[in-house]
Structure 1
Amino acid sequence: MHALSATALRASFVNVSTRERSAIVIPTDIDTTDWDRRDYVGWRDAKAPLLGFVVAEIDGEAVGLQLRQAEQPTRSRPQCSWCSDITLPNDVVFFSARRTGKAGRAGNTVGILVCARFECSRNVRRLDPPAYLGHDAAAARDRRIEGLRSHVETFFRDMRDGV
């Protein structure tokens, strides 16, 4: 992912009003982000703990979405829809996001299970021990990275283009 300034991050949000966009709290450590090891950037707002913010590059352009965590916890330990991490090193929660455009203004939302603190980029880059003799762990890691990118891009496109 390309490095983004706080201003660029804020301007990227497509499913919020102008007032909501101006109220988004950008993390103070954004300047120290290792952008080369990020497939998207995500954070939570400490003052509004149910809100999450994610920004990804779609067609070379930064696109941001505001997510809202469901207040009810899930009944079982779910798997993240983006990184598909089966070791579950962190919590996975249900988020909903308002669609963009006319559909969003009509109240249409999409739900997804995602790592609570948006750790997906770290999860897919972990080099797991070989699953069997001759297993190429580095190739498996590369497939997980590509899978994450594909899942995130599909979700973002659905939010923007879906009905």
Structure 2
Amino acid sequence: MRELTEDLIRNSFVNCSKGEAKRLAVPRDLAEQPWEDLDFLGWRDPGAPDRCYLVAEHGGELIGVTLRLAPRQTGSMRRSMCSLCLTTHPSSGVALMSARKARRTGSEADSVGEYICTDLACSLYVRGKKKAEPGGRLEESLTTEEKIERTTARLSAFLDKLFV
């Protein structure tokens, strides 16, 4: 992913108002991000634990989306798998994240959701730059490049749903 500035990030959001995009918390460490290892920039809002953001290049454009985390179910010891990078985590490491559609069609389905790593570090898990807990990455015969392609294809499919 190319290096992004705060202005590029704020102007990329497609599913919130310009005022909301202007007020959202952009990461302060943009200069330290591992841009060459990122397929998308994702972060949690430090002031609102149920809110997170994702910015990716999609269809030749920079697309930013606001996401809401579904309330966590307590007491569950199960593991969950991220639908983007296929990394498994304890129940708190993956959450259902929903995004309002960019263009509302008037139908009941005005948001879409995916189970995503709560730290939004899918790109780093796929590349082995961030380690999942033991058993968090399934052994696969795919190359790292093929895993990256699969993750970006899954992300693209999720973003496509925002415009339907």
The answer to whether TM tops 0.5 is: yes
Cα deviation digits, residues 111-141 of structure 1 (max 9, x gap): 1100001010111001899x5xxx96xx522
Once residues 39 and 55 of structure 1 are traced to their aligned partners in structure 2, the CA distance between those partners, rounded to angstroms, is: 9
The corresponding residue for 2:39 is 39
Once residues 10 and 109 of structure 1 are traced to their aligned partners in structure 2, the CA distance between those partners, rounded to angstroms, is: 21
Q: Kindly indicate whether the alpha-carbon contact (under 8 Å) linking 1:98 and 1:107 is maintained by their aligned counterparts in 2.
A: no
The corresponding residue for 1:103 is 105
Secondary structure of 2:27's counterpart equals: coil
The aligned amino acid for 1:34 is P
Once residues 152 and 91 of structure 1 are traced to their aligned partners in structure 2, the CA distance between those partners, rounded to angstroms, is: 18
Task: Give 1:55 shift.
Answer: 0.4
The corresponding residue for 1:153 is 156
Any gaps of 5 or more consecutive residues in structure 2?
132-136
Q: Map 1:44-83 onto structure 2 (within 5 A).
A: 44-73=44-73, 76-83=78-85
Q: 1:42 to 1:30 in 2, by over 3 A?
A: same
Q: 1:147 to 1:107 in 2, by over 3 A?
A: closer
Secondary structure of 2:143's counterpart equals: helix
Task: Give 1:152 shift.
Answer: 0.7
The aligned amino acid for 1:69 is L
Task: Give 1:72 shift.
Answer: 3.3
Count of aligned pairs: 154
CA-based RMSD of the aligned residues comes to 2.6
Q: 1:147 to 1:106 in 2, by over 3 A?
A: same
Secondary structure of 2:28's counterpart equals: coil
Q: TM-score, normalised by structure 2?
A: 0.83
The aligned amino acid for 1:141 is T
Task: Give 1:104 shift.
Answer: 7.8
Task: Give 1:73 shift.
Answer: 2.7
Q: Does 1:27 align with 2:30?
A: no
Higher helix share: 1
Which segment drifts farther, 101-110 or 115-124? 101-110
Runs (4+) of structure 1 moved beyond 6 Å? 104-107
Identity %: 32
The aligned amino acid for 2:128 is R
